[in-house]
Structure formats: structure tokens, C-alpha cells
Amino acid sequence: IAIFKKGDVIGAQASKAEHRVWHKDTSIATSKLANATISFPDADNARNGANFPLAVGDYYVCIRQDNGMVGESVAFSVVPRTPKVSLEKTEFEYGEDITVTYKNVEESLLSGKSYVNIAIFKKGDVIGAQASKAEHRVWHKDTSIATSKLANATISFPDADNARNGANFPLAVGDYYVCIRQDNAMVGESVEFSVVPGSPKITLSKTEYVSGEDITVTYKNITESLRTGDFVSIAIFKKGEVVGTHSSKAEHRVWHKDASVVASKTANATVSYPDADNGRNGVNFPLPAGEYYVCIRNGNKVIGDTVTFTVTKGAITVAQPEIKESITMHYTAALSATLSDVKMKFTFDGQESIVAGTVVESGNGCNTYTFALPGILPQQMGDNIKSELYAGNTLIDSYDDYSVKQYCQNLLAASTDAELRALLVAMLNYGTEAQKYFEQTVDSFVNEGVDQSYLNGYDISQAQGVIENPVSGDNTGDYVWKAATLGLYDEIMIRVKFYASTTENLSIVANGESYTSFVRAGTDLYYVYIPVHASDFEEALTITFDCGGAVGATLTYSVTTYIQYAANAGTSDIQDLLQAIYDYGMAAKVYASV
């Protein structure tokens, strides 16, 4: 079954397409159907793809038997398909892309013309008399000019690759039509559409911000036609405040009747406050903690809905004290990365101290800072710590009433971890016994009301490690140990007294750690303080003099050395404190091993 161009002769000219029904060579594909309906192009037979789509013109179809025709042929014509344009809708919001689908815009439409475009015109404008608002070039006789060369496609305006497509966008509110333009004539029918103002909208990147963090607002469809008064702004107000009665906290001017006043003149944008280019935006920042709303302000009226948000204090979080060594209270705070000179003022034990923040994490426009208050003595676990977070001279947040005791009691109430609860109770008992030992006048002890059943009591007589207390040495040689004992400070230390004719170039080395800070206690007599983790109370320290090499005798000592020595000495006023220290150390050791 063969298709030929009108006037072509079978055998003299090649067919445009053939469908093989029978062939003497059985290896050649044929349909072997005496009666059938077929469609061209037919990929299973010869020449059926190469000539399709068939060019516009006249043809005939026949039954071909080698180079002869069986029966009569049937004539037909291929004519240009009807070019069409269509829109996904006939109404678009201001600033929205205009999406157009076109079909059958064949190159043959050029027909001696210069170009064929998909064009948008203002309603009432005449092709050739007025300029189009936008055009998408499909075909052009000048091959050096960029064209899509697609007979069927969906395109969106503005289209940066074609003429005038950015200059007139967004299209002003009004009525338009889209058409297939052939030089200064129109092919087929046009389709009308309208650009409408669209609903003014505002959205926030989130609804909760940390004080000092930028407030990011996205607005849409804020056209100049909305202005009925002096100006249109995106404004922030405190919750409960009324536009026109109260002053805004910040505004971004979009339109203003006074051309000399700075305005963005952008109908769709994302802005961040504080915005230095507009009024009152720096004066009120950082916004203090509280509830606010953002709105589209038209003079003293609100357009559309408002969006509420909350500003929280700088997110100060009290972290766990370093309960394995010194008692240091740690704080963290999340603040806007735009803030500088971040610091915390601590008021504790009648003293004020300023601690600069250390950035430990950054991301999403925020920095996370840490602050530490060291030097809390065990008997001060119940003492109030006041912390004030500042960025420069601006107070961001504060804790007026907190303590190590409060932290431990809060964690005890929240935790089900048996080892942690035992450690917390032991720590509070240690603080209580220190309060008693140092004869503090307090309203209550730090372990008051604490469930002692959480504690695993330990027998001092079962303490492991070195139990022999060092004997005072004679003042002979350059470096001689005098005595060792326990020092109760913000951290538990072994306090060692020694003789030295000179401390120049001298280090005291304890299990590999060097100490060079000495306190003079008399002629050639000094103290050195060696801190010990609570979990390491039973661990023996090998302590040596080092002055370019080991010199003098080696001292072996541990916290339990002192505990057993003092317990065996039977000194009554320290027995409860020794038991609390031992319980604390053993609980820390168990907790650290889990």
C-alpha cells in the first residue's frame, strides 16, 4: 500500500511511504493481511519515517504490485494545520507569568514573510501600528536571529530570550490579547486575557524570632494602585497597638506620593528588618521580647490580613555544671549573627564579672554562644547566680534566680537515670556537709527535701588505692616532700607541701601533667595544688619533682589516701564531710563508667 506525490510515476519516482502486505522473500517483514486499516508513518516498513510529516501538497495512495498499480488510486491533499494559541486561564494576577501554548506554527507560515512570532498586545492596539508588549520568535528568515523553531510549544512571558519581554513586565493591570504574528498580520484568532491587581499578601519566614534576629517579610501584589493616601508600607506594630494611633516599630515604604521620599516601588519583594533605608527601623531594634504583627499599611488603614509573630528573649539555656571536676556553671544563648560584642554579666557572691561569649555553632542567621562562671565552692551550691545577657549595651535576656542546687533539683525531678540521680544526690550532700563544715548561716541546706533513697552509700573502710599518708621528710637536699592533704575549693584538690631551695625551672609532675604554680608557705617551703576529677578519687597519683629531669623522692597519693587517713584519725568534726566526699567520688566514678 503506497503513497506517492501527485504526478509521480510508480517505478520512476520513489514512494513517500509503503506498507508491505506480501513479499516473495519470506525474510522481509509483511503484514500478510488481506484486509486491514493502517496508519502512516509506519515504522515497520520502508521509507515511512523519513518523509513524515508529509509536506503540504497533493498525493495519491494505491495498491502497488512491483512497478505497476492494481486497481485505482485515491487522491488526497495535505494542507497546513490551523495555527492556534491558547491560555491556561484568562485572568492573571499582577506580576504573574503569562503562560501561552501554541500549536501548528509551521515554518511554512513564513511564506516570504520576515518572521512568525507569538505576540502580546494591549487590547485595542493594532499589529504594525503599536508595538507589542512581548514576543516569542518562532521562525525568522534571518537565521542569525534566535528563534525556537518549534511548531508546538508552551512558553511563559516574560521571556528573556526575545524582544521587549522584560521591559514591559510585570504587565500593568488591564486587558490584553495574545496572537500569532506574521510580520504585521495576524494568523488565525487571538485570545484575550486580563491582568488584575491580585490580592495583597504578606508572609513571614517563621512566627518566632529571638531578640536581635532579623525579621524577614515577603509581600506580594502591593501595586501603586493600592495607595489612596500618602503612602503604602509594610509595617510592624506591637500587638494591641492600632495603626494611626500608635507608632509602628518599623516600616518598609513601597509607594509614596512624594517622589523625593525613598520607596522601593516594587510590588513583590522580600525585606528584612531592621531596614536602614526606611523610617524608625533601627531605633526600635533589636525588638524586645513580646508579641507583634506585620501588616500592609495604606496611610492609617490596614490592607488585607495581618500576620502575628513573637519575639522571645535570647534563648539562654542553663547547661550542666562540670560536676566531675570544678563546679562551673555553663550557659548557652542563641542570638542573631548580626549582633556583636555579645557578653554575659554574672553577679555571684557579691561580685560582678563580665564573660565574653564564645561562638560554638553558626547557621540560619544565628550564632550559639557559651558562657562559663567558674569558681563555685561546694558550700555555695545554693547561692543565687544572676546572669544578664548583653549585645553591646543592650540587655537581651536575664536569669535573676538560679543556682547549682536549683539545677540539680530540676534534673532530679526530670530524670529516671539511676546513676545520674545518685550522683546528683551525692553532690548536694557534699554541698550540705561543706555548708556545715564551714559553719555557714543558711535558710536551708542544699539537700533539703532530696530523696536520699537515690543515693548508693559507700563504706569508707572499703576505699581502694593508696592508704598510707606520707611522712614528713627532713629538710635535706634541694627537693623534699613535706606533707599532703586535701583542699576543698571549687574543685577537690590534693594539696602537697614541699621544700625546695629554688623553684626556678621546677615543675611538679603528677601522672604526666605538669604544674608550675606554687604558693610560698615559708622559707624554702611551698604548696602545689593538683586538681582531681571526682571519678578519679581512688586513682593513685605518682608525683615527682622535675627540673630538667626527675629529682628527689617520688610521692604516691590519692584522694582516698587522705579520706582513710582522716577517717582513721577519728576527727569527729570532719567525718560527715569525708563520707559525703567519698560518696560523691564513687557516684561520679559509676556514672562516668556507664
Distance CA 540, CA 508 (A): 15
Is pLDDT above 50 for 476? no
Choose the weakest-confidence range: 95-104, 157-166, 413-422: 157-166
Quick: pLDDT tens for 368-421.
899 999 888 889 999 999 999 998 988 888 887 788 998 888 889 888 999 999
State the pLDDT at residue 457.
83
User: Cα dihedral angle (164, 167, 172, 175), rounded to 10 degrees?
Assistant: 0
Of 324, 577, 558, 569, residue with least CA distance to 463: 558
Strand order in 2-5's β-sheet? 17-18, 2-5, 57-65, 68-78
Distance CA 68, CA 52 (A): 24
**In which residue are the cell numbers 504573574 written?**
96
Is pLDDT above 70 for 472? no
- Chain centroid to Cα 570, Å, comes to 61
Query: Model confidence at 469, in pLDDT bands (50, 70, 90)?
Result: low
Query: Between 29 and 569, where is the model more confident?
Result: 29
Of 249, 281, 119, residue with least CA distance to 184: 119
Residue 529 CB neighbour total at 10 angstroms: 16
Is residue 582 within 8 Å of residue 463, measured between CB atoms? yes
Query: Between 146 and 320, where is the model more confident?
Result: 146
Q: Where are the beta strands (DSSP E) in 299-416?
A: 301-312, 315-318, 329-336, 342-348, 351-356, 358-363, 366-373, 385-391, 394-402
Strand (E) or helix (H) holding 472: none
Strands 342-348 and 351-356: antiparallel
SS3 label, residue 17: strand
Query: Model confidence at 341, in pLDDT bands (50, 70, 90)?
Result: very high
The backbone region for 408, taken as left when phi is positive above 0, alpha when psi lies in -120 to 50, beta otherwise, is alpha
Of 454, 448, 402, 457, residue with least CA distance to 425: 454
Is residue 388 within 8 Å of residue 373, measured between CB atoms? no
* For range 39-44, the mean pLDDT: 77
Is pLDDT above 70 for 588? yes
Read off φ and ψ for residue 435, nearest 5 degrees.
-60, -45
CA-based radius of gyration for the chain: 45
Is residue 384 within 8 Å of residue 407, measured between CB atoms? no
Please tell me which of 121-135, 281-295, 558-572 the model is most confident about, judged by mean pLDDT. 121-135
State the pLDDT at residue 475.
46
**DSSP assigned state of 432:** H
DSSP 291-305: EEEEEEEETTEEEEE
Report the share of the chain in percent with pLDDT over 90. Answer: 47
State the pLDDT at residue 554.
85
Q: Which residues contact 390 (CB under 8 A, 6 or more apart)?
A: 341, 342, 343, 344, 345, 396
State the pLDDT at residue 366.
77
Distance CA 270, CA 356 (A): 34
Q: Which residues contact 482 (CB under 8 A, 6 or more apart)?
A: 472, 473, 497, 498, 499, 525
* For range 502-520, the mean pLDDT: 92
Distance CA 514, CA 544 (A): 10
- Chain centroid to Cα 413, Å, comes to 33
Is pLDDT above 70 for 447? yes
Query: Between 170 and 3, where is the model more confident?
Result: 3
SS3 label, residue 18: strand
Distance CA 285, CA 280 (A): 9
User: Cα dihedral angle (118, 122, 124, 127), rounded to 10 degrees?
Assistant: -40
Of 526, 527, 561, 525, residue with least CA distance to 542: 561
State the pLDDT at residue 345.
94
Distance CA 82, CA 343 (A): 74
Of 373, 375, 490, residue with least CA distance to 431: 490
Long-range Cβ contacts of 513-519 (<8 Å, 24+ apart): 514/546
Q: Which residues contact 29 (CB under 8 A, 6 or more apart)?
A: 20, 44, 45
CA dihedral sign, ordered 510, 511, 514, 517: negative
SS3 label, residue 175: strand
State the pLDDT at residue 474.
46
Query: Between 79 and 477, where is the model more confident?
Result: 79
SS3 label, residue 421: helix
Distance CA 105, CA 108 (A): 8
Name beta bridge partners: 389.
344, 397
The backbone region for 516, taken as left when phi is positive above 0, alpha when psi lies in -120 to 50, beta otherwise, is alpha
Quick: pLDDT tens for 179-236.
999 999 999 999 999 998 788 999 998 888 876 678 899 999 898 888 998 999 999 9
